[in-house]
Amino acid sequence: MAHIDVLRFLSRKDKWYMGGGNRLVWAPPFPLFLDRPGLWDGGQYFNFPMQPLFTWTLLDDEGNEIPLEFNSRRWTPDHLTQQFTARTGKLALIAEERKTILRSDVVTCTVTLQKWQGRSTVVHFIAWTAKGGSPSQQHSWISDIARQEGAMVYAEHLRLPDVPQYTCGVAFGLDRKARSFAAQVSEASVAQPDWNLSPMSEQFSSGKLPNRMELSGLNPGECITLALHAVLELSPKREESITVGLAAAPSSGEATSNLRETLETADLPGASRKHWNDYFAGVPYFECSDEFLTRAYWHRWFGLRLNTVDAPEGNYAHPFVCEGIGYFRAPISYSAFCHMFENRWAHDAGLAQGSLLTFVSNQRVDGGFRGYIDVTHTRQEMFYHANWGRALHQLDRIHPWDDFLAEAYAGLTAYARYFYRQRDEEISGLYDIHNHFETGQEFMHRYLAVHSEADRKHWGKAFRLKGVDATVYIYELKRALASAARRFSVYLCQRFRFRTYVCRHRGRC
């Protein structure tokens, strides 16, 4: 029986989110400009908002905007297609854009224009964006703007409340040489993808932008608009295409290199399609008589990939899966063991293993696992109970791997000792919950029964409650560690110098 085409099978008209399984994702929960060209609604780089991305505008030969009317949308996991129509007194055309985000964290938008009738016509294509130009308003901003290899390159400083600023490099360009460009500082306002409200509408003259950067401003909190211009000649019933790309990376040099390599790719939607097809081929195939169950299965695998981050940077030495967007786009221990359960079925064990090793490599000095890990920042008090032992055991049954098990054993042994020292003062074998956030079951009556203010917003030690769930998790952990110790105790002794501990407690943990 022929397998279903997963990408086509998941196709929808009411979805829009995109990602390549890495740092950058575009999944605005309540998009304001979804029916407009480009990707003006913001994306996320790690857990930092990156707003906006970019838009594009068409001008006629006299410099007047050609208004586009949204027509239709089609989404598949690998790309988003939107179609627009334009009808003016002199022009009638169809504009179709195909948007992707590649694994290299490059956003692309390939625009195809087709003129219906009449003579050949020249149109001006403007790709542009607007960014904050000052750190004074406690929002993200850009600096070090330059022209490199035909692209606009800059540093983008991203911010979150109570988290240190993070800086990445961004390159913004076209797949052809730009006819002209501009960068213009202006008073700050609510950024909108409206050409007539942008300073560039006044900068465009005599069929081009001014080819200069005006970046000095008098007021804090200004806005910087960046624009690239190309000329397209449209003939009746003949398609003309142009691609806009925006690359984000740890440095401007890497972003520029990734952008150049991407824009030299002949078939960008095809490259994204191959990436997603390869991913779906790496998980167990499933199909049944219930179409909705089949669809739910493949949507879940899509969601796991969309929320994957695989970037060896800062605190992230291993790949992991996030819970979602916004605040939840980071490794969180409450869900990481669940991602191990799911990804153990993948043909490659790396992502399931990384979901644990991310917390092992960022382990606290006392042996506890951090509840939430930012790329360059550690949050001290956050902690979640999790069933790491059962997840480890189930993963090892499908992907037995001694090196991984040894590394996991070292971290999880320290984790078990933390519970012995810090979570069971009576040495009862029952383990403590210290606040109502730790179990992910916030504001439940089980906590108010032991403390009248248990539902206050706080981390740290607010009360002591013996938890059945917390105790079961540590019981499962001890079973998994005992099994691992029996399997290769000599190997562990030699590599991690646990000789005394393992030999004295062989068979127990």
Find the mean pLDDT for residues 347-368: 97
pLDDT of residue 136: 64
Give the 3-state secondary structure of residue 155.
strand
- The CATH number of whichever domain residue 169 belongs to comes to 2.70.98
- The values of phi and psi at residue 260, to 5°, are -60, -45
Using N-to-C axis directions, what is the helix angle for 333-343 and 350-360, rounded to 10°?
A: 160
pLDDT of residue 117: 76
Q: Are 230 and 244 in contact (CB under 8 A)?
A: no
pLDDT of residue 89: 76
Return d(Cα 190, Cα 207) in angstroms, integer.
28
Do both 87 and 231 map to the same domain? yes
Give the 3-state secondary structure of residue 137.
helix
Residue 290 lies in a domain: no
Among the residue ranges 23-27, 116-120, 249-253, 397-401, the one predicted with the least confidence is: 116-120
pLDDT of residue 24: 98
359: Cβ contacts below 8 Å, ≥ 6 apart: 331, 333, 336, 369, 370, 373, 411
Do both 266 and 319 map to the same domain? no
| Residue 266 structure tokens | 């002949």
- The values of phi and psi at residue 261, to 5°, are -65, -40
Do both 141 and 41 map to the same domain? yes
- Residue 19 β-bridge partners: 25
∠ Cα 408 413 416 (to 5°): 125
pLDDT of residue 497: 54
Q: Which residue type, as a one-letter code, is found at position 22?
A: N
- Residue 508 β-bridge partners: none
Do both 393 and 482 map to the same domain? yes
Nearest C-alpha neighbor of 248 from the set 99, 103, 148, 77: 103
CA 119 to each of CA 13, 89, 344: distance values in angstroms, whole numbers, following the listed order: 34, 13, 60
Residue 202 lies in a domain: yes
Residue 78 lies in a domain: yes
Q: Strands 92-101 and 163-174, how do they pair?
A: unpaired
For all residues of the chain together, what is the average pLDDT?
A: 91
Q: How many CA atoms lie within 13 A of 477 on its CB side?
A: 26
Do both 253 and 339 map to the same domain? no
Residue 404 lies in a domain: yes
Return d(Cα 205, Cα 202) in angstroms, integer.
8
Nearest C-alpha neighbor of 416 from the set 501, 321, 315: 501
Percent of the chain exceeding pLDDT 90 equals: 77
* The residue to which tokens 């009862």 are assigned: 428
Rg of the chain on CA atoms, in Å: 27
Please write the tens of the pLDDT for every residue from 403-434: 999 999 999 999 999 999 999 999 999 999 99
Find the mean pLDDT for residues 129-158: 88
Residue 156 lies in a domain: yes
Do both 175 and 227 map to the same domain? yes
Q: How confident is the model at residue 122 (pLDDT cuts 50, 70, 90)?
A: very high
pLDDT of residue 505: 40
Do both 229 and 368 map to the same domain? no
Nearest C-alpha neighbor of 246 from the set 7, 27, 30, 42: 42
Among the residue ranges 12-16, 85-89, 352-356, 410-414, the one predicted with the least confidence is: 85-89
Q: What residue numbers bound the domain in which 420 lies? A: 307-431+467-504
Of 278, 298, 319, the position where a domain reaches its end is 278
Return d(Cα 316, Cα 33) in angstroms, integer.
33
Residue 456 lies in a domain: no
- Residue 56 β-bridge partners: 127
Find the mean pLDDT for residues 357-375: 96
The total number of structural domains in the chain stands at 2
Do both 102 and 202 map to the same domain? yes
Among the residue ranges 96-105, 160-169, 356-365, the one predicted with the least confidence is: 160-169
Instruction: Flag whether pLDDT at 14 surpasses 90.
Output: yes
Do both 378 and 500 map to the same domain? yes
Find the mean pLDDT for residues 37-47: 96
Nearest C-alpha neighbor of 212 from the set 134, 143, 146, 126: 146
Residue 216 lies in a domain: yes
Do both 176 and 214 map to the same domain? yes
Residue 447 lies in a domain: no
Q: Are 236 and 116 in contact (CB under 8 A)?
A: yes
Do both 379 and 237 map to the same domain? no
Nearest C-alpha neighbor of 331 from the set 299, 301, 361: 361
Do both 189 and 228 map to the same domain? yes
Of 262, 278, 294, the position where a domain reaches its end is 278
Residue 443: Cβ within 10 Å count: 11
Q: Is 34 left (phi over 0), alpha (psi -120 to 50) or beta?
A: alpha
Q: What is the distance between the terminal CA atoms of the chain, rounded to a whole angstrom?
A: 49
Instruction: Flag whether pLDDT at 502 surpasses 50.
Output: no
Please write the tens of the pLDDT for every residue from 197-244: 999 999 999 999 999 998 887 565 688 999 999 999 998 878 999 999
pLDDT of residue 101: 97
Higher pLDDT, 21 or 118: 21
Q: In terms of DSSP H, where are the helices of 90-132?
A: none
Among the residue ranges 160-174, 293-307, 396-410, 479-493, the one predicted with the least confidence is: 479-493
Instruction: Flag whether pLDDT at 400 surpasses 90.
Output: yes
Return d(Cα 475, Cα 472) in angstroms, integer.
5
Return d(Cα 158, Cα 376) in angstroms, integer.
12
